[in-house]
Amino acid sequence: MTDTLVDTSDTPGAAALADTWTVAGRTFSSRLIVGTGKYKDFAQNAAAVEASGAEIVTVAVRRVNISDPKAPMLTDFIDPKKITYLPNTAGCFTADEAIRTLRLAREAGGWNLVKLEVLGEARTLYPDMRETLKACEVLAKEGFAPMVYCVDDPIAAKQLEEVGAVAIMPLGAPIGSGLGIQNKVTVRLIVEGANVPVLVDAGVGTASDAAVAMELGCDGVLMNTAIAEAKDPLRMARAMKLAVEAGRDAYLAGRMATRRYADPSSPLAGMI
Amino acid sequence: MASETPGELLLTVNGEPRRIAPGATIADLVASLGLDPRKVAVERNAEIAPRSTLADVPLADGDVLEIVHFVGGG
């Protein structure tokens, strides 16, 4: 795995600061990646990113509105020099569409770290793994570092790694559903088998879902709708930041074993 | 649509017809649209037009251009 963690025995505070993760040679402190879709406006979006503590945001690649070139742009509100833009291929249903989109993204942004997703159908937005694998291989050969949205299948995850994925990003539940992590077993199996970072991408609805993903040993969580569609997106952004940190700490701390029955916490000896 | 001037090139830009003077480059087109070339990427006839070459590439009649940028997305 790519985690960096110093000895925690004496200075847990300092250790928490040193708990970074690395993807394709880039090191980040925040384990929360947030999307930039569905917000009321760019100002709310920027404030939510700030509250979430995210260092990476996903962005889409779309045609410039040539009839209104002076319309506000995302880059005016979220500075790509301070926050890493992770261009996605949302809306692409074939490998060719996704590759074309990311070639343009690389030209627009000038970097090779990208999020690959190739969708199978509009109703579920479930990934088409045959097309995803094809696109991942081509992109890796062209020098891209693809972080890949995928099914929660440990075999598919291995295959993605073999063709050059720099991060495996299984869905917790369908995109935008907010249903939470539906299959904890497969996510754990992916984490245990991966040699690259694993991030749950999609399905998180509330803070406890993010904590569950991190407690399973994921390196991070990617979400959009859970924050953007909360009644108070800024407060939810902060909740997600704390949940990811809490889940990560719980994972590192190593949870207690479960018991079938009660075990008193106060001594039995010395009872009056 | 503007009336046709002899010699003008007819382009398709982001799916819309657009005319430009002969000899114009991609950089001229981007500037005429009021766009900052540092914030967009251009594809000409399904091939990436690298930013460093935009001023060197003369447009041809019938060229199909896509000009994209980053927008909010998940």
| pLDDT tens for each residue of chain A, 272 residues long | 455 555 444 555 555 557 999 999 999 999 999 999 999 999 999 999 999 999 999 999 999 988 887 888 899 999 999 999 999 999 999 999 999 999 999 999 888 999 999 999 999 999 999 999 999 999 999 999 999 999 999 999 999 999 999 999 999 999 999 999 999 999 999 999 999 999 999 999 999 999 999 999 999 999 999 999 999 999 999 999 999 999 999 999 999 999 999 999 999 999 99
Is-catalytic flag, A115? yes
Closest-CA residue of chain A to B33: A66
Contacts with A73 from chain B: Cβ below 8 Å: 39, 69-71
What CATH number was assigned to the domain covering residues B9-64?
3.10.20.30
How many angstroms separate the Cα of B47 from the Cα of each of A16, A25, A139, B44? 46, 29, 16, 5
Question: Three-state SS across B29-69?
Answer: HHHHCCCCHHHCEEEECCEEECHHHCCCCECCCCCEEEEEE
User: Are B74 and A73 within 8 A, CB to CB?
Assistant: no
Q: CB neighbours of A57 closer than 8 A, spacing ≥ 6?
A: A33, A34, A35, A36, A49, A78, A83, A84, A85, A86
Q: Tell me if residue A76 falls in helix, strand or coil.
A: helix
Closest-CA residue of chain A to B52: A107
- ipTM for the assembly: 0.91
Q: CB neighbours of B9 closer than 8 A, spacing ≥ 6?
A: B19, B20, B21, B22, B24, B59, B60, B61, B62, B63
Residue written as token pair 């594809």 = B43
Q: What are phi and psi of A33, to 5 degrees?
A: -110, 130
Structural contact between residues A91 and A66, judged by C-beta atoms closer than 8 angstroms: no
Gap between the Cα atoms of A34 and A26, Å rounded: 17
Picking from B18, B66, B73, the nearest residue to A58 by CB comes out as B73
User: Are B71 and A66 within 8 A, CB to CB?
Assistant: no
- Identify the DSSP state of B37: G
Gap between the Cα atoms of A8 and A13, Å rounded: 8
User: Are A37 and B39 within 8 A, CB to CB?
Assistant: no
Q: What residue spans define the domains of chain B?
A: 9-64
Q: Residue A8: its pLDDT value, please?
A: 47
Considering A70, A81, A115, A241, which one is annotated as catalytic? Answer: A115
Most B-contacting residue of A34, A63, A86, A142 (CB-CB within 10 A), to test interface: A63
Gap between the Cα atoms of A75 and A174, Å rounded: 28
| Residue B60, pLDDT above cutoff 90 | yes
Q: Residue A70: its pLDDT value, please?
A: 81
Question: What's the sign of the alpha-carbon dihedral A33, A19, A110, A100?
Answer: negative
- Identify the DSSP state of A271: -
Q: Residue B7: its pLDDT value, please?
A: 82
